[in-house]
Each structure stands twice: as C-alpha cells, then as structure tokens.
C-alpha cells in the first residue's frame, strides 16, 4: 500500500499483514492466471472502440497511435495528475480514479499495460494506460496519484522513468497483489469497523511546534476539519504530530485525501 500503516494495536497489525503489498519484482514466478481470471482482475472499463492506428490533433499538433504495444520501451520524464481530474471520463471511456494504478500516454493503444520504473530510486509500478496525454513536449507519461505515490515521486512532481509494455497476464498478476490501487476499499472498511472511532490520519511530525501549527493551518484552509496536534516524547526528542480524525467511513477518507493531494504529504493511517 502507499500510505504507511503504523501498527499501534494487534488488530491492525493482523490486517496489515493481509494487505501489505509491493511492486512486481524481477524474480517473480511466471504468472499462471487463466483467461477468465485475467479478465476479472483487470476489469476493463474502456467502452470506446478505437482504431489501433488512431489519429488525433491537440493544440495544433498531430498524433498517431501505435498499432501495437508489443515490445514497447521508452525513457523520459513522467508527471502525475490528481483530484482535479478525479471522476472525469478518460479517452477510453472509463472514469479516472486517482486511487487506481492508471496512466495517460500520447500514442500507446488503449488500454495498454506498462511497467513504469522511477530511475531515481528504482521503484516501479504496473499501470493501465487508459487516457491520452501529457501534451507537454518533454513528458512521456502522466501517472495517477496512486501510481505516482507508489514510485515515490509525488513531492518532486516529475521524475525520469523507464516504461516497458507488459502482457495482460503480467499486469493482472501484479494488480491482484496490489488490489489494483492505492488500497483495498473492502479491507479499509474492515479496519474502520474493527477500530471504530480510533482511526486517524497522520500527515506530519515536527520537532518544533511552529512547523506543526503551520501545516495544521494550511490543511484547514483546504477545507479539512478535525485537524489536531499531539505532543509525544521519543527517546530524548519531543515530536509534534499533525493528525486528522477520527476517520469513520471510506467516503470520509476519500474526501480528505482528495483535498490533501495538492500538498504531496506522506500520509499514515493510524489506529490509536
């Protein structure tokens, strides 16, 4: 998962062991999912039938899509997009979900599945290309919020990446492990149910109270309620932790997260 889970009680620790996931590694065994399983996991929501050699024009510039993604490799700069586009229709007809592993590319067929590796830190994620963009000359791919967080590029905004096309089976294998997105909605609901009124989000920890208060004020200006600061001593250091909550429902979690994406925070889910 993309947020860190701080294990402050046994119940949450057990749930964490069930939902923790990591990027597909090179030493993974060869995927053996059957066709029905692949289709079920990928759950392709693209509704627009497109010519594999589609031509289109954006801002006076013409683009021609590839007839196939087989063997496709590319290096360049990646960017990401978040809440401003959440819920809007993508080029393939399904709605953009910032919490799922998706991406926009100018010329790959829709949908295509690619492994995106952050060349600055080696982290990678497999995403579904379901949209067009980014229409900026020096950028080759736009990642969803979830995918950008997975490869640790939120704070930088852009990073150098290597893109490699993968088969639907490889994509399904990876997305099955990662629940196709930033977190498992069903598992999140179980965590909230078993830890009612005890789930909070930690969005920062400072050694000086001034920094904590500045972040609290900044978040409140975004329309986020229930922001508070706790003081705790660890060894010889005092920390001022900025937290939001309690988080009682999945909908409230999503609402808060959508408001926080512009700040590129490292968000921790905590059971008090």
Q: What is the pLDDT along the chain (272 residues), one digit of tens a residue?
A: 334 444 444 344 334 343 443 334 444 445 577 777 777 777 777 877 666 678 889 988 999 999 899 999 999 999 998 777 878 889 988 888 887 899 999 999 999 999 999 999 999 999 999 999 999 888 999 999 889 988 989 888 899 999 999 998 898 888 777 655 555 555 566 666 666 667 888 888 899 999 999 999 999 999 998 999 999 988 788 999 999 988 887 778 878 877 887 776 777 777 76
| pLDDT at position 255 | 82
Domain assignment present for residue 146? The answer is yes
Residues ≥6 apart with Cβ < 8 Å to 198: 246, 271, 272
Task: Give yes or no: residues 197 and 257 share one domain.
Answer: yes
Same domain, 49 and 164: yes
142 shares a domain with 115: yes
Strand-strand pairing, 227-234 and 237-244: antiparallel
Are residues 41 and 149 part of one domain? yes
- The answer as to whether 98 is a domain residue is yes
Q: Domain limits at 162?
A: 25-178
Pair (108, 162) in one structural domain: yes
pLDDT at 10: 37
Q: What's the start-to-end Cα distance of the chain, in Å?
A: 20
Looking at the DSSP bridge assignments, the partners of residue 129 are 103, 112
Q: Report yes or no on 13 lying in a domain.
A: no
Q: Beta strand pairing status for 227-234 and 61-64?
A: unpaired
Q: Given this model, what pLDDT does residue 22 score?
A: 39
Clarify whether residues 93 and 224 are in a common domain: no
CATH number, domain with residue 244: 3.30.70.1070
> Looking at the structure, do residues 40 and 173 belong to the same domain, yes or no?
yes
**Domain presence at residue 4:** no
What is the tally of structural domains in the chain? 2
Predicted confidence at residue 76, as pLDDT, reads 96
C-alpha distances (whole Å) from 209 to each of 146, 221, 241 are 30, 19, 9
Q: What is the CATH number of the domain that holds 122?
A: 2.40.40.10
Do residue 64 and residue 137 come from a single domain?
yes
Residue 198 CA to residue 112 CA, distance in Å, equals 40
H-type helices in 98-166, by residue range? 145-150
Say whether both 33 and 143 belong to one domain.
Answer: yes
Cβ 4 vs Cβ 268: under 8 Å:
yes
Same domain assignment for residues 154 and 105: yes
């Amino acid at each position: 998962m993309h947020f860190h889970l701080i294990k402050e009680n046994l119940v949450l620790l057990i749930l964490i062991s069930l939902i923790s996931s990591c990027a597909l590694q090179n030493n993974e065994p060869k995927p053996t999912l059957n066709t029905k399983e692949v289709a079920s996991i990928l759950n392709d929501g693209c509704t627009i039938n497109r010519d594999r050699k589609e031509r289109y024009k954006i801002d006076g510039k013409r683009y021609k899509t590839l007839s196939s993604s087989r063997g496709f490799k590319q290096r360049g700069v990646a960017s990401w997009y978040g809440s401003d586009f959440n819920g809007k229709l993508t080029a393939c007809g399904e709605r953009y979900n910032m919490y799922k592993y998706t991406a926009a590319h100018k010329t790959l067929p829709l949908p295509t599945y690619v492994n995106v590796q952050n060349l600055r830190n080696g982290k990678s994620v497999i995403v579904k290309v379901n949209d067009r963009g980014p229409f900026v000359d020096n950028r080759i791919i736009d990642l969803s919020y979830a995918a950008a967080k997975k490869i640790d590029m939120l704070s930088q905004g852009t990073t150098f990446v290597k893109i490699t096309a993968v088969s639907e089976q490889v994509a399904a294998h990876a997305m099955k492990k990662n629940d196709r997105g930033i977190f498992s909605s069903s598992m999140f609901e179980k965590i909230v149910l078993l830890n009612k009124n005890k789930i909070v989000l930690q969005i920062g920890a400072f050694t000086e109270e001034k920094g904590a208060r500045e972040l609290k004020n900044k978040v409140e200006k975004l329309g986020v309620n229930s922001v508070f600061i706790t003081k705790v001593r660890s060894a010889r250091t005092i920390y001022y932790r900025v937290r939001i909550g309690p988080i009682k429902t999945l909908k409230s979690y999503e609402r808060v997260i959508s408001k926080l994406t512009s700040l590129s925070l490292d968000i921790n889910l905590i059971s008090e």
